[in-house]
Amino acid sequence: MLTLDAFEEATEVVKKVAIETNLLYSDYFSEQTGNKVYLKPENMQKTGAYKLRGAYYKISTLTDEERAKGLITASAGNHAQGVAYAAKAYGCKATIVMPTTTPLMKVNRTKSYGAEVVLYGDVYDESAAHAQKLAEEKGYTFIHPFDDPVVATGQGTIAMEIVKELPLVDYILVPVGGGGLATGVSTLAKMLNPKIKIIAVEPAGAACLQASFEAGKPVTLDGVSTIADGTAVKTPGIEIFPFLQKNIDEIITVDDDELIVAFLDMVENHKMVVENSGLLTVAALKHLKVKDKKVVSILSGGNMDIITMSSVVQHGLIQRDRIFTISVLLPDKPGELVRVASTIAEAQGNVIRLDHNQFVSTNRNAAVELKITMESFGTEHKDKIIKALKKIGYDPKLISVMI
């Protein structure tokens, strides 16, 4: 597999179920980076992620006997939904093993396509081992989420669409967990135009590909820790690793804090919800050392549950000083609270929460603590509010408090 003929065949097969996600030009990210930035919105794909492509193509290549045995896979969510959807389309049974930490939305969506879900392990690697065990015990046909050249060929159809729509693309940024998407996209892109640079982006807390490149062979991390649950993989694909070595030009790692900021950027500027793994290529844009290039960021998925979304938004607002908390000590006498509130109001701050603690000191006349959480327009506005409070004699201290 991973031949041009196979990619062309996969493109025709995948068209039966997948949406051709057209590129979106981003004025915002283009201005921020000095490049012409295009987004490949696989978050808008059926099942909410690109994984449908590889899963459907893989299942299309199975024999009737292999499909009749029933399918099984392991996934943090997106491949699970892809396999479940494809299995339903082919009328065969699917069992999906998912980590116990998988967001509820991804679990429920997978069940909605008719698959049986088994929750096992804290990370993908533990789920995968259990799925392999079940496959051996019950004779199921195992569909690997990434370490399979056939699956990778299906994922590579994304590159076919990118090059068809933007023939002179200079850089393609692709998220990496196990490496299936990166394998398919990089291999086909290089076939179509060897000048295209492929940059793999992975979370700093699960940088298994970077560690493997440095070692010259696939290595297993001791552990992973990242909010990008879809790319929280300890070991890159062993079968596909040679393709990654050959076709990846650079690896960029991204911290979780950068993903939080990228989420706000996408929501505010493009009105799109993109899951943390899909945001890797957005956060990586500012790490590029080039200008005036045509860059495509693949948004690999958009399956994020509401609780995670709420937490990311909250952390993002705090990071950008759109929400902040201060502690002010003031005498315990009438009028002091009004004086503080009036000063904040005059500076156009919007108070979200107040915590008035009379017992911070045994001498209440000397010091009562007032904790104030408020909204601002950003760092400059926050500084203006603090300066206004200092001007009337208070000494506000910034503190870390979640709303």
Domain ranges for the chain, please list them: 4-46+149-316, 51-142, 321-399
Are 51-142 and 321-399 the same fold in CATH? no
Question: Which of 184, 183, 178, 197 has the alpha carbon at shortest distance from 158?
Answer: 184
| CATH no., domain 321-399 | 3.30.70.260
400 noted as active-site residue: no
Q: For residue 376, what are its two tokens?
A: 């601002």
What integer pLDDT is reported at residue 400 of this predicted model? 78
Digitized pLDDT (tens) for each residue of the chain, 403 residues in all: 799 999 999 999 999 999 999 999 999 999 999 999 999 999 999 899 999 999 999 999 999 999 999 999 998 778 999 999 999 999 999 999 998 988 787 888 899 999 999 999 987 778 989 999 999 999 999 999 999 999 999 999 999 999 999 999 999 999 999 999 999 999 999 999 999 999 999 999 999 999 999 999 999 999 999 999 889 889 999 999 999 999 999 999 999 999 999 999 999 999 999 999 999 999 999 999 999 999 999 999 998 888 888 888 888 888 888 999 999 988 878 888 888 999 999 999 999 988 877 666 656 555 788 899 999 999 999 999 999 999 999 899 998 766 5
Q: For residue 323, what are its two tokens?
A: 């929400």
What integer pLDDT is reported at residue 270 of this predicted model? 95
What integer pLDDT is reported at residue 104 of this predicted model? 81
133 noted as active-site residue: no
End-to-end CA distance of the chain: 51
What is the CATH architecture of 4-46+149-316? 3-Layer(aba) Sandwich (3.40)
Distance CA 156, CA 186 (A): 8
Selected catalytic residue, list 60, 300, 376, 382:
300
Place of tokens 């076709």: 247
Q: CB under 8 Å to 17, separation ≥6 — which residues? A: 46, 52, 56, 85, 86, 89
| CATH no., domain 51-142 | 3.40.50.1100
Count the alpha carbons within 13 Å of 212 in the hemisphere toward its beta carbon.
28
Distance CA 266, CA 262 (A): 6
Selected catalytic residue, list 51, 190, 197, 294:
51
Do 34 and 6 touch, CB atoms closer than 8 A? Answer: no
C-alpha distances in angstroms, 94 versus 81, 99, 108, 200? Answer: 10, 17, 14, 31
